[in-house]
Each structure stands twice: as C-alpha cells, then as structure tokens.
Amino acid sequence: MLDPRLLRAFVTIADAGSFTLAAERLHMTQSTISQQLGRLEQAVGRELIDRAARPVQPTASGERLLGYARRILALQQEAQTLLSDPAGTSSIRIGVADDIVTARMARTFARFSEQHREVRLDVTTGLSRDLTRRFRAGEFDIVVVKEPTASADHRASFPEAIGWFESLDAPVQWPDPIPLVAFPPGGLYREDMFERIERERRHWYIAFTATSLTSVLTAVEAGMGISLVPTGITGNFKVRPAAYGPGPAMVVSLYSWETAGPIAELAQVMTTVLVERYESSARA
C-alpha cells in the first residue's frame, strides 16, 4: 500500500517543479521532502522525478503514477471529511404499528432529524406483539404498540375504538361459513374475531391474511370478507360497519427506555402527535 504522505510529497514536487517550493508548500525541510520522494521511489521500484530537468518534472513512470496519486489523495480527503461529519453516527431504533407512521408522524421524524443531524432514525413497522417482544429484548429504544391494556411502564396510552367492517358492496347476509380477513397467527384481533363469530354459533374460515392494516382493509373493501380493524383509519376505504357488535377493548401505548437525552425528546414529540390524533378521534 502506498503511503499517502509520500504520494503528497511526490504530487507537490511535480506541481511545483521544485523541491524547494514543494517543501515550503508542505511546511517541511527540503531534505525531508527529498527523503519522502526517495522512499516512494524505493517502494515502487521506479524513478519518479527527473531531478536533472529545470524545472524538475515527472519521469515517464512518474507521469503514469501522477493521476492515480491525485485520485488516492482526493479519496483520502473525502474520507476524512466524511468521518469528521457526525451526521448519522448514532441511531435511535423505533418500532411502530404500521398505521402509526402517518404523514404527521413522518414530519415529526423529519424535523427531529434536522435538529439532530448526528442521529439516524431506524424505524421498523410490524405486528404489535412482535414489536413488544423485541422492545423487551432491548432491540428498540422506543415502541408504539396496540394491546388490550397498557403495562405499568408505559409513557403514554390512548384508547382506540375497534369495530367490525365489511365492504360497501357486501351482501346483506354473509354465507355460512363467514369469510374472515385477518392478521397472521399472533396478530391482534385475530383470536377476538374467532371468539365473536363462534359466540354467534356461526362457522368461519380465513379468506385472506395480511401483515398490515392497509392490506387488511383493502381486502375487506374488495369484498373478500369481514374483519376487526381500528375505526379511526377506515375513512379512506369503501367499507361500512358490520353487524357483529362492538370490538374488543384496545389501547395504543408508547414505551421508551430513556428518560433523558435525544431518545426521551423524540418519545415526547411522538407522544404529542399521538395526543393530537386520538383526542381529535374522540371529539369526532
């Protein structure tokens, strides 16, 4: 590997056309810069500067190396500049249920990133039970999850209305067995759906499974079956309430390990967004 210091001496000599001028530009003695050039020539096994020429100039081998030397030095400077910039050097790991990342929440993330350039936000969306498990295992710094009741260490918690929905084009009476649109095993609402339908002494089958609320609602809208979903996010879909009684009690909870610093600050602004969202839903 060629030493960048020796390459810099070589390039400076070639540009200056003089050992004396090159030494002045690099703030070193003429003997030092001559020694550095000699070490480089020994490393490559070629004479790189014609010392007899006036002004001194690269030899044929020196001309071949000169372009590569400039590129190596430019890349070194670029790397040093990059590493001196703290942007994105620390991360905050966030786990959220997929419908929590609204446009308002995304703008909050953007403003936080502008104010804290050193922080990189790593956001993972997924099923609440899996996100909760991973938070307890230390994989996330902040999570926003849906659960029947909030644990004692929650930072904020908001009730969320859950209801049965079907397509606007759904039949007046669903056939037996009833097609259900559900989350995969382990997903919220899934067992509640089965329990409620069986309480009605009806048979059922899973017609469609999806890991996101958007996909579930799209399937419901298309008439693939009925499902339990948060009522607050159904407005943009062509669905209507289905006559299967109230949904299960559910809350949206925010958890965070830190009580100070950037993580706590982000948890607080996320809480503010959630307050606005669920207070407006309650007023509606």
What is the DSSP-derived secondary structure letter of residue 231? Answer: G
Q: Which long-range contacts (CB under 8 A, 24 or more apart) does 232-239 make?
A: 232/160, 232/161, 232/277, 232/278, 232/281, 233/99, 234/163, 234/165, 238/167, 238/168, 238/169, 239/165, 239/166, 239/167, 239/168
- Eight-state DSSP code of residue 192: H
Query: What is the reported pLDDT for 217?
Result: 93
Q: Where in the chain is the domain with CATH 3.40.190.10?
A: 90-153+251-283, 162-246
* Per-residue confidence (pLDDT) for residue 58, from 0 to 100: 92
Judge contact between 2 and 43, C-beta under 8 A: yes
What number is the average pLDDT over the span 144-172? 92
Q: Torsions phi, psi of 252, nearest 5?
A: -105, 120
Tokens at residue 118, please? 């050193």
Q: How many residues does the chain have?
A: 284
At 171-189, the pLDDT tens digits run: 888 888 999 999 888 777 8
pLDDT of residue 260: 84
Radius of gyration from C-alpha coordinates of the chain: 33
Identify each DSSP E strand in 168-250 by its residue range: 178-182, 204-209, 227-230, 239-246
pLDDT at 282 exceeding the cut of 80: no
Q: Is 4-84 CATH 3.40.50.700?
A: no
Residue 32: pLDDT over 60: yes
Instruction: Enter the CATH code of domain 162-246.
Output: 3.40.190.10
Q: Provide the 3-class DSSP secondary structure of residue 266.
A: helix
The pTM for the full model equals 0.66
Does the pLDDT value for residue 83 go beyond 80? Answer: no
Which residues make up the CATH 1.10.10.10 domain(s) of the chain? 4-84
Give domain 90-153+251-283's CATH superfamily: Periplasmic binding protein-like II (3.40.190.10)
pLDDT tens by residue, 210-266: 888 889 999 999 999 999 988 888 888 999 998 877 788 889 999 998 888 899 999
